[in-house]
C-alpha cells in the first residue's frame, strides 16, 4: 500500500521570467481584454506566445480551462500553464482555490516535479493576500489528490511528491504568501487525510479501525485527547441508538470522542457530531444493489469531524471543541435491528424503527445527547443523512438546517470563505409533527415528502435548548467522476467549512 502524493509548499521571491521550474502557473480572466501586467511582462520574454494562444482562440480564459505554453529556453521555466479564471466580476476567493486545484491536477497528470504558482497576481489587491494564499494552498492539496493506495499495477505511474512554491518578485508579498500558505497547508492536508480515510472501503475501515485512527491522531497532538466506548460501555451507558444500528454486523460499533482544548477559561465549547456508518447496506430494509458500493462513504460526516479536529489542533485555534463520532456498520443479519423495534436512546427518548435504512439519525441522536451532556454551547452535526437532500440540492451544496439564525449565518459565511457551499432548508414544527409515533416518542421516518427536512426535525428533538445546526452532506461527500479540479471519490467536504467556522469564531473573540 502506498502513500498519497506528498505536497511540499513554500513561498519565494523571484521574478517570473527567472523562475527555474517545471511549470509556472498564471491566471487569466475571460472578460479582461489583453494581459495583466504580470502576464504581459512574461509574454514579452516569450515573444508573445501567450497572446498568440489567446488570439488564436485556443484559450478564452473560461473557468475550468487552461493552456500550456512552452518556454523553449526563453525563460527559466520549462512550461507556462495559463489557467482560466472566468469572468472577473464573478470572481470569488474560491476562483483562486479552484484555479490552484486545476494547476495541481495538471501538474500531477503531466508528472512535473516542481510547480511555481503566481495565480494571485491576476487578482491585484481585491482580496487580502494572506487569504488568497491560504485558498491557493488548499487548492493545491485538493487538486493534486488521488486515491490509489491499493493500485499495484499501474501503467502510467506518478511521482510520490509535488514541490510547490508561490512566487512573487516583491518580498513583502512573499511574506504574506508564506503566512497564508502555512494555514492553507494544514487545512489542505487535513482534508486529504479525511479523503483517504473516507475512500477506504468497508472491509478496511470498520468502526474499531476508525477508532484506532482517531486514537493515533490524538497521540500525535498535544492538545487532543481521545476516548472510545466499545459495545460493553455503550450498553452500560444506555446508547440504544448506536447499539441498534450496529447489532447486525460482526464489526461492532464504537463511540469516538476527541477533545481539543484551545480556549481559555470561559471560552465557548463547540460540539461537532459526525455520522460514521462504515458501510450502509440499509440493513433489513436493504438498499437496491446499484451503486451500493458508494455507501462506504457513509462515514464521511464523522471523518470530516476527524479531519477538522486535526486541522484545528495544528492551527492552535483558540476554542474548545468536542469531536463526537458515533460509528457503526449497518448490515442485515440474524442479529440486526428490525422494522418495528422500539429503541430507547441515550437521551431517554424512545424511537419506533420503521425503516432500518434511516440509521444515521439513530446514531446521531445518541451523539447529540452526548454533546448536550458535555455542556457544549453550540452543536453542529454533519452527516450523509438523506437521499432526499441529494435530490433537492444536487451535488454542489450541502443542506443546512438549524435552530439559531446567528449560527446559520456564521456557517453561511464560512461556506463562502471555504468554497464548500451550503443552502438553507427548513426543519420546524410541521416537519417535527410527522416524526411522532403512536407507540413511542418518535419514529425514524416521515411520509414520502421532504425527507431531508423531516430527518433534521428528528435530530432537533435531541439538542435541548442548545444552539444547533445540521449539515446534510449527502450528494457533496463525493465526486462520481473526476472534475477539472480534482479526482473522483471522497471530496472531504466539511473539513474546510468547519475549520473556517472555528477559525472565524476564535478570531471574533
Binding-site member from 231, 298, 314, 341 for ligand BES (CB under 6 A): 298
Binding mask 379-418 for ligand BES (x = CB under 6 A): -----xxxxx-x----------------------------
Alpha helices per DSSP H over 91-170: 93-110, 129-144
CB of 299 to ligand BES, least distance (A): 10
CB of 386 to ligand BES, least distance (A): 4
CA distance 335 to 170: 66
Q: Is 287 a catalytic residue?
A: yes
**Chain centroid to CA 79:** 32
CB nearer ligand BES, residue 268 or residue 292: 292
* Angstrom distances, CA of residue 314 to CA of 319, 334, 338, 427: 13, 44, 43, 35
328 binds ligand BES per the rule CB under 6 A:
no
| Catalytic position from the list 10, 12, 215, 287 | 287
Contact positions with ligand BES (CB under 6 A) in 445-464: 445, 451
Instruction: Write down how long the chain is.
Output: 509
Q: Put residue 419 in one of left, alpha, beta given phi > 0 → left and psi -120 to 50 → alpha.
A: left
Cβ count within 10 A of residue 55: 10
CB of 202 to Zn ion, least distance (A): 12
CA distance 324 to 378: 13
The item of ligand BES, Zn ion, none sharing an interface with residue 386, based on CB under 5 to 8 Å by kind, is ligand BES
CB of 174 to Zn ion, least distance (A): 46
CB nearer Zn ion, residue 137 or residue 358: 358
CB nearer Zn ion, residue 131 or residue 286: 286
For the chain, what percentages of helix, strand and coil (3-state, to nearest 5) are there? 40, 20, 40
Q: Secondary structure of 261-278 in the HEC alphabet?
A: ECCCCCCCEEEEEECEEE
The item of Zn ion, ligand BES, none sharing an interface with residue 43, based on CB under 5 to 8 Å by kind, is none
Q: Count interface residues toward ligand BES (CB under 6 A).
A: 16
Using alpha carbons only, give the angle 457, 412, 379 rounded to the nearest 5 degrees: 45
Q: State which H helix or E strand residue 305 sits in.
A: helix 300-315
Contacts of 44 (CB under 8 A, 6+ apart): none
Q: Secondary structure of 431-446 in the HEC alphabet?
A: HHHCCECCCCCEECCC
Residue spans of beta strands (DSSP E) within 33-160: 66-70, 79-84, 114-117
Using alpha carbons only, give the angle 199, 285, 200 rounded to the nearest 5 degrees: 10
CB nearer ligand BES, residue 7 or residue 388: 388
Q: Pairing mode, if any, of strands 269-274 and 320-330?
A: parallel
CA distance 116 to 196: 26
Dihedral (Cα; 53, 54, 59, 60), 10-degree rounding = 180
Contact positions with ligand BES (CB under 6 A) in 248-267: none
Q: Count interface residues toward Zn ion (CB under 5 A).
A: 6
Of all residues in this chain, which one has the CB nearest to ligand BES in the complex?
Answer: 387
Given a contact cutoff of 8 angstroms between Cβ atoms, the answer to whether 452 and 399 are in contact is: yes
Binding-site member from 94, 168, 280, 329 for Zn ion (CB under 5 A): 280
Contact positions with ligand BES (CB under 6 A) in 145-164: none
CB of 215 to ligand BES, least distance (A): 26
The item of Zn ion, ligand BES, none sharing an interface with residue 367, based on CB under 5 to 8 Å by kind, is none
Contact positions with Zn ion (CB under 5 A) in 281-310: 298
Binding mask 333-362 for Zn ion (x = CB under 5 A): ------------------------x-xx--
CB of 48 to ligand BES, least distance (A): 50
Binding mask 344-383 for ligand BES (x = CB under 6 A): -----------x-xxxx-----------------------
CB of 21 to ligand BES, least distance (A): 41
Dihedral (Cα; 68, 93, 401, 268), 10-degree rounding = 130
Q: Put residue 473 in one of left, alpha, beta given phi > 0 → left and psi -120 to 50 → alpha.
A: alpha
Cross-strand partners of 23: 115
**Owner of C-alpha cell 487545512:** 187
CB nearer Zn ion, residue 121 or residue 240: 240
| Catalytic position from the list 106, 176, 361, 443 | 361
Using alpha carbons only, give the angle 304, 203, 145 rounded to the nearest 5 degrees: 45
CB nearer ligand BES, residue 63 or residue 474: 474
Q: Which of 167, 218, 147, 183 is nearest to 38 (CA)?
A: 167
CB nearer ligand BES, residue 238 or residue 387: 387
CB of 25 to ligand BES, least distance (A): 34
CB nearer ligand BES, residue 103 or residue 245: 245
The item of ligand BES, Zn ion, none sharing an interface with residue 184, based on CB under 5 to 8 Å by kind, is none
CB of 365 to ligand BES, least distance (A): 14
Binding site for Zn ion (CB under 5 A): 277, 280, 298, 357, 359-360
Binding site for ligand BES (CB under 6 A): 280, 298, 355, 357-360, 384-388, 390, 445, 451, 474
| Enzyme catalytic residues | 287, 361
Amino acid at each position: 500500500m502506498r502513500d498519497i502524493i506528498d505536497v511540499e509548499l513554500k513561498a519565494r521571491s523571484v521574478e517570473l521570467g527567472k523562475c527555474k521550474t517545471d511549470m509556472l502557473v498564471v491566471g487569466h480572466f475571460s472578460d479582461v481584454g489583453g494581459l495583466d501586467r504580470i502576464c504581459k511582462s512574461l509574454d514579452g520574454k516569450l515573444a508573445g506566445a501567450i497572446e498568440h494562444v489567446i488570439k488564436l482562440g485556443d484559450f478564452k480564459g473560461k473557468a475550468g480551462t487552461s493552456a500550456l505554453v512552452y518556454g523553449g529556453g526563453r525563460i527559466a521555466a520549462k512550461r507556462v500553464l495559463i489557467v482560466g479564471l472566468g469572468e472577473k466580476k464573478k470572481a470569488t476567493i474560491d476562483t483562486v482555490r479552484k484555479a490552484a486545484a486545476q494547476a495541481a491536477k495538471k501538474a500531477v497528470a503531466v508528472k512535473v516535479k516542481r510547480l511555481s504558482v503566481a495565480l494571485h497576481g491576476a487578482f491585484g489587491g481585491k482580496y487580502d493576500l494572506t487569504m488568497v494564499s491560504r485558498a491557493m494552498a488548499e487548492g493545491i492539496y485538493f487538486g493534486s489528490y488521488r486515491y490509489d493506495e491499493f493500485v499495484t499495477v499501474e501503467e502510467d505511474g506518478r511521482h510520490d511528491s509535488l514541490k510547490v512554491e508561490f512566487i512573487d518578485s516583491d518580498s513583502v508579498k512573499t511574506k504574506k504568501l508564506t503566512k497564508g500558505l502555512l494555514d492553507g497547508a494544514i487545512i489542505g492536508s487535513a482534508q486529504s487525510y479525511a479523503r483517504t480515510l473516507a475512500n477506504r472501503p468497508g472491509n478496511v475501515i470498520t468502526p474499531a479501525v476508525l477508532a484506532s485512527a482517531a486514537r493515533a491522531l490524538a497521540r500525535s497532538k498535544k492538545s487532543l485527547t481521545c476516548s472510545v466506548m466499545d459495545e460493553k460501555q455503550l450498553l452500560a451507558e444506555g446508547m440504544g441508538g448506536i447499539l441498534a444500528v450496529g447489532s447486525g454486523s460482526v464489526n461492532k460499533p464504537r463511540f469516538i470522542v476527541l477533545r481539543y482544548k484551545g480556549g481559555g477559561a470561559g471560552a465557548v465549547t463547540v460540539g461537532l457530531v459526525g455520522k460514521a456508518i462504515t458501510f450502509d447496506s440499509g440493513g433489513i430494509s436493504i438498499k437496491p444493489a446499484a451503486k451500493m458500493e458508494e455507501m462506504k462513504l457513509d462515514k464521511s460526516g464523522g471523518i470530516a469531524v476527524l479531519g477538522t479536529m486535526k486541522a484545528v489542533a495544528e492551527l492552535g485555534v483558540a476554542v474548545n471543541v468536542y469531536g463526537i463520532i458515533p460509528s457503526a456498520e449497518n448490515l442485515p443479519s440474524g442479529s440486526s435491528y428490525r422494522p418495528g423495534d422500539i429503541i430507547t436512546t441515550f437521551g431517554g427518548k424512545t424511537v419506533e424503527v420503521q425503516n432500518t435504512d434511516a440509521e444515521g439519525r439513530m446514531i446521531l441522536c445518541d451523539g447529540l445527547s452526548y454533546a448536550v451532556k458535555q455542556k457544549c454551547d453550540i452543536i453542529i452535526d454533519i452527516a450523509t443523512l438523506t437521499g432526499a437532500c441529494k435530490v433537492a440540492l444536487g451535488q454542489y451544496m450541502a443542506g443546512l438546517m438549524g435552530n439559531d439564525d446567528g449560527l446559520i449565518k456564521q456557517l453561511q459565511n464560512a461556506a463562502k470563505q471555504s468554497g464548500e457551499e451550503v443552502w438553507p432548508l427548513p426543519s420546524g414544527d410541521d416537519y417535527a409533527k410527522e416524526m411522532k409515533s403512536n407507540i413511542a416518542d418518535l419514529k425514524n421516518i416521515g411520509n414520502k415528502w421532504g425527507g431531508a427536512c423531516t430527518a433534521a426535525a428528528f435530530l432537533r428533538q435531541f439538542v435541548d435548548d442548545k444552539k444547533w445546526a445540521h449539515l446534510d452532506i449527502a450528494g457533496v461527500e463525493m465526486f462520481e467522476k473526476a472534475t477539472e479540479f480534482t479526482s473522483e471519490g471522497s471530496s472531504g467536504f466539511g473539513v474546510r467549512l468547519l475549520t473556517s467556522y472555528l477559525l472565524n469564531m476564535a478570531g471574533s473573540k
